[in-house]
Structure 1
Amino acid sequence: MMRKLRNILLTLLLLAIVALTAGSFFLLNHALRPADNKGRDTEGSYAYMFQTYPFLRPWVDSLRRAGALCDTFITSADGTRLHALYARATRPTRRSAVIVHGYKDCAVRMLMIGYLYHHDLGFNILLPDLYGAGQSGGDYIRMGWLDRYDVIRWTCVADELFGPEATIAVHGISMGAATTMMVAGEKQRADVRCFVEDCGYTSVWDEFAKELRAQYGLPEMPLLYTTSMLCRARYGWDFLQASSLAQVAASELPIFFIHGEADDYVPTEMVHPLYEAKRRGGRELWIAPGSAHALSYHDHRAEYTARVRAFVRRYM
């Protein structure tokens, strides 16, 4: 009888291990290799942006006619070819912006922020396609953590493109905002002056834990732990390590924190510990009234532009 019970328990344990392993592989692939990665569809992304932000079409058309919207490429540390769009300001200027896109997005889907800096503020702009997005190589989404090194490389490219005395702001939305904060915690080149993060998460762990509860009704233990371990084994980093909060605490340059009041994808409450963690170098916070995730600019275009203009020009 005891042997039979032991065999049953062992069988149940093996089944649990198999289920947990399968669940971890599923969750990791679902999160980092999504089937609906719209950021890979460049033409579809242009169509979406022109429909959502109609003022972009005449601006993009004018840049194209002038041959001013250009492509550039770099090679990442692992040999992957990475792409970015860039445009020089209409009038020569040192002021430049590196603009970082979100999850399942691409450079094209950040053209509204490109418009803000180029058309409204008169800046040079550079918009990278992160690893696994747009015209860049890479076969998975890195949630900003390893991307921070590539964005630092792109700030060097901006310096080369726009002049050796360029002053640079880094501006990101959603995962791009998390990437921006992760960049902010690293040692900076002298030409990088400030950061703008719009609706970024505190950490990859926190964001995935929220999605695990929201989509599947599951707690963090044990699936998120095993999936994070699998991510480390496969890709060399884990969800707890990828912390915007820790990077913000280490940052020394000014950060403007923006978050929509009605954001339930990256919950609005995440911005408050981020803001509190920022102790050195200057900080500012704006909660955009009524805005859902990544829609603060869409909903409050004039105010968003004015607030960003005032912030970046304080430091550039």
Structure 2
Amino acid sequence: METTRAPAVVFNPPAFENAPTKTSRKKMWILLPLAILFGLFACAILAFHGYIAWMLARPAIAPLSSNPLLAVGLPYEDVSFTSSDGGSALNGWFIPAEGSDKVVVFSHGYGGNREELWVPLYSLAKELNNQHFNVLLFDYGYVQPNLSVTGGVRESRELQGAIDFVKHQGMKHTYVWGFSMGAGTALQTALYSKEIEAMILDSTFLLEPDTMFHNIKQQVDLPRFPSLPLIRFFFPILNGTSMEQIPYQTVKESNYAIPLFFIHGKKDVKAPYDVVELIYENQTSPRSSLWLLPEGRHELLYKANKKEYLKRTMAFWNRVSSDSY
């Protein structure tokens, strides 16, 4: 009996079933470069904001170009001392006033040194010496290449170290004249220092998030978000100090027991004058005062009106020093 074999059944899957694999591969080759580009872009953004945080704490500072004797004919002594916590080694010039036990310590601003020629400190030191005040000009630690700006955290201890130094030199009455961030540092120091008897604060700058971003935006037009959070994130990582360590809110809310003379320009684009007005409103000392110059600009107030500036500042120093005796 003859049998008939059934034909073999061969299953050939439809061609479209391979399509998902091919499509996935195509998508992968499209998405992979996009993911790489996105990653590179994100890294570039992070690196850029890290660079800003790094540079903010390391301003370019010119070397000393003169000294009190060459600049204004004042004999001086080269001096060295440490911050109050011993963490910084500092250098300066002490300008003596024979027979006087009162001293003005200058607190220079961000990006400057003990000369701060644009103020200029030599001229003010000369006038103080004429008024029979000893003078100390010194460099904050960040003038040295191995240290960074900390917005007053370390600098306040350095200023206290300068005050301790002049006390050891026999000075019985100590006053501080601060400029820009040096004025903000002076306010931080006065929160705890018992030796400061009065201060002049010219173009006061407090390093806080708003003022920091205000200054950055003048150089680079960045959006507040995510730029400000990123810079604040990188600042302590790269510089060792967090902005949360700066007592800017305490400074703005404090009533200082000593006389404060605020001098500020209404056209100051680096340190808005409303911050100074806020601090001044908290003061109850009858000797405290505020002088706002309508056309004044940051740290250029002496140059704008030398005669009136010297008249008011020297009157303040002589008044508060007379009260001390």
Q: Same fold (TM over 0.5)?
A: yes
**Residues 79 and 179 of structure 1: CA distance in aligned 2, closer, same or farther (over 3 Å):** closer
Question: Higher Cα Rg: structure 1 or 2?
Answer: 2
Per the normalisation by structure 1, the TM-score is 0.80
**Residues 277 and 7 of structure 1: CA distance in aligned 2, closer, same or farther (over 3 Å):** farther
Aligned to 1:273: 278
Range with greater deviation from structure 2 (286-295 or 137-146): 137-146
Aligned match for 2:201, one of 176, 184, 197: 197
Shift of 1:137: 6.4
Aligned match for 1:227, one of 231, 236, 240: 231
Structure-1 separation of matches of 2:293 and 2:309: 8
The one-letter code sitting in structure 2 at the alignment partner of 1:83 is: N
Matched-pair contact (CA < 8 Å) for 1:73–1:83:
yes
Whether 1:130 aligns to 2:134 is no
The one-letter code sitting in structure 2 at the alignment partner of 1:274 is: I
Aligned to 2:186: 180
Whether 1:256 aligns to 2:261 is yes
Aligned to 2:3: none
Range with greater deviation from structure 2 (169-178 or 239-248): 239-248
Structure-1 separation of matches of 2:135 and 2:282: 29
Structure-2 separation of matches of 1:276 and 1:10: 54
Whether 1:97 aligns to 2:121 is no
Matched-pair contact (CA < 8 Å) for 2:302–2:309:
yes
Whether 1:72 aligns to 2:79 is yes
RMSD of aligned alpha carbons = 2.9
Q: Deviations over 1:44-98 (max 9, x none)?
A: xx39xxxxxxxx877733x2xxxx3111111344644210111111x31222101
% identical equivalent positions: 23
Whether 1:18 aligns to 2:18 is no
Q: Helix, strand or coil for the counterpart of 2:141?
A: coil
Q: Helix, strand or coil for the counterpart of 1:107?
A: coil
Matched-pair contact (CA < 8 Å) for 1:181–1:247:
yes
Whether 1:146 aligns to 2:154 is yes
Q: Deviations over 1:175-230 (max 9, x none)?
A: 21111122122x222x4201111111243423321122211111332222222222
Aligned to 2:314: 309
Q: Deviations over 1:244-297 (max 9, x none)?
A: 452253333222111023222223333222323445685310012422211111
Matched-pair contact (CA < 8 Å) for 2:190–2:196:
no
Number of paired residues?
A: 290
Structure-2 separation of matches of 1:58 and 1:273: 41
The one-letter code sitting in structure 2 at the alignment partner of 1:283 is: S
Q: Deviations over 1:159-178 (max 9, x none)?
A: 112x15x1111111112111
Shift of 1:6: 8.1
Matched-pair contact (CA < 8 Å) for 2:69–2:76:
no
Q: Helix, strand or coil for the counterpart of 2:264?
A: strand
Structure-2 separation of matches of 1:260 and 1:21: 36
The one-letter code sitting in structure 1 at the alignment partner of 2:61 is: N
**Residues 12 and 184 of structure 1: CA distance in aligned 2, closer, same or farther (over 3 Å):** farther
**Residues 71 and 138 of structure 1: CA distance in aligned 2, closer, same or farther (over 3 Å):** farther
Per the normalisation by structure 2, the TM-score is 0.78
Gap runs ≥5 in structure 1: 48-55
Matched-pair contact (CA < 8 Å) for 1:28–1:227:
yes
Aligned match for 1:118, one of 129, 139, 146: 129
